Amino acid sequence: MATDDREVADMNLVMFAPCPRASAIGRMAHLVVNELCGNGHTVVVVCTESAESRHGEVRDFGAQAMHWTDSDEVQAAITSADAVIYQIGDNFHYHEGSLYWLERQRGIVCLHDFFLGNLFWTWGQSDRKRASAVLQQWYGDEIARTYFAHTSSANFIAATHENAPMTEWIASQASAVIAHSGWGMGRVLSACPGPVRLVPLAYEVVPAVGSRFETPISSVGRMQVLTVGHVNPNKRAECVIRAIGADERLREGTSYTLAGAIQTDMRRGLEELANALGVDLHVCGEVSDQELQRLLAGADVVCCLRNPTLEAASASAIEAMLSARPLIVENAGFFAELPDDCVRKIRPDHEEADLCKELLDLKANPMTRKSLGMQAQAWARETFTAKNYARQLTDLVSLSQRSMLVSETMQVFARQLAQWAGAESMLTLPDTLGPLRIFDVGAVQDQKA
């Protein structure tokens, strides 16, 4: 969308984000912070991971940083800021600090997941009564009653991802929201009191590493299929194994690598299945950034499947595209929004069959793999830029500050009416409110037409 060409004054911003190196959201936030600082703004970072999760390497944002539990410091930073931004995803251990401060200080929420069930569930454990009240407010008594009663994670997701995704819970606390794809926007729009924007995620251009990017793709050797990320049922690893196992050509000519944290039970189960079907499976467990780059470089195809689709946007998919890797995705959610000439899409209700077909096609056509990968890379480079994200973010800061200006004006009137024997309701009379529509600040996308 067209951005505002008017000059933007230098801003003081506070960015709430997870600081552990492993956090993809943190990685993205880092890119944006760099861009913002490069544009002349001042950014203070507040690390939002739970104290308990603060093990392992912590990211250096190249800006002043503090932990969300340092109340005085955080408060001081907020007070002197022009705007406060919260990077929020569906993981309590990474985003506890954002939940805490969002309640106390309204700000712009960058929503990485439309489904926030996991975040909410864990948060709700410390105060069930309060959590139930939230559920009741947004979804009614029935859901409030049954929400915490599910026996397994799979059941929980199945039962709540469509009817009670908790998107509204966070959107309603924001002064404005940036979402990274459109499919879950409805709930955001209905709950957010301020402007909402759709902005593609920021990614850095992944430097080309490894031989497979540069040298001609050979048809010798097994086709390397890769899936990245925490291995849970939602990522459909089992489905990929079955699809490969279903055709002799794939069994003989394909290797499947899983790079990401995996539970012992899950690992055992998948390895047993692969054995039984004669599929060449490599389970890596959690890998370092460097190792991940090496694996990506060596992959012929990346399978980035999600069923059900929970994320707002998929970091893994974007990284794969930026690395010029041919990508197979489900035709749902964020993935459905990817251009048809950049990725291969399978039907969620015909996963195995479609997957098998796509893998065979890609195995047989190395030139197709190359062109698909290049196309995806070109498109992703143009779209998922920190430059665009930072610009949209500062625009939104201005936009939401202008919303604040309008609210301030309305508050002056509300206060005066309140002094007149509690007549605030007169503000909503059509004769009062109607003429003030010229002050409306654009909702989704600035309407300058």
Contacts of 77-82 spanning 24+ positions with Cβ under 8 A: 77/14, 77/44, 77/46, 78/14, 78/105, 80/12, 81/12, 81/13, 81/14, 81/44, 82/11, 82/12, 82/13, 82/397, 82/401
Q: How far apart are the first and last CA of the chain?
A: 13
Nearer to another protein by Cβ, of 276 and 405: the residue is: 405
Q: Minimal distance in Å, beta carbon 395 to another protein?
A: 10
Nearer to another protein by Cβ, of 7 and 103: the residue is: 7
Q: Minimal distance in Å, beta carbon 40 to another protein?
A: 12
CA distances 234 to 87, 205, 208, 415, 443, Å, are: 23, 27, 29, 51, 33
Q: Minimal distance in Å, beta carbon 391 to another protein?
A: 15
- Cβ–Cβ under 8 Å, residues 28 and 314: no
Q: Rounded to a whole number, what is the largest CA-CA distance in the chain?
A: 84
Nearer to another protein by Cβ, of 207 and 435: the residue is: 435
Nearer to another protein by Cβ, of 275 and 416: the residue is: 416
Neighbours of 133 (CB within 10 A): 12
Encoded amino acid at 28, one letter: M
- If we measure between CA atoms, which residue out of 304, 301, 328 comes closest to residue 316? 304
Q: Minimal distance in Å, beta carbon 78 to another protein?
A: 15
Q: Minimal distance in Å, beta carbon 414 to another protein?
A: 10
Q: Minimal distance in Å, beta carbon 36 to another protein?
A: 14
Distance, in Å, from the CA atom of 239 to the CA atom of 152, rounded to the nearest integer, reads 21
Nearer to another protein by Cβ, of 284 and 427: the residue is: 427
How many residues does the structure list for the chain? 449
One DSSP character per residue, 57-68 reads -B---SSEEEET
Q: Which residues bind to another protein, rule: CB under 8 A?
A: 4, 6-11, 82, 398, 401-402, 405-406, 409, 412-413, 416-417, 419-423, 425-426, 429-432, 435-436, 438-439, 441
Nearer to another protein by Cβ, of 217 and 414: the residue is: 414
Nearer to another protein by Cβ, of 51 and 412: the residue is: 412
Q: Minimal distance in Å, beta carbon 80 to another protein?
A: 12
* Locus of tokens 């600040």: 441
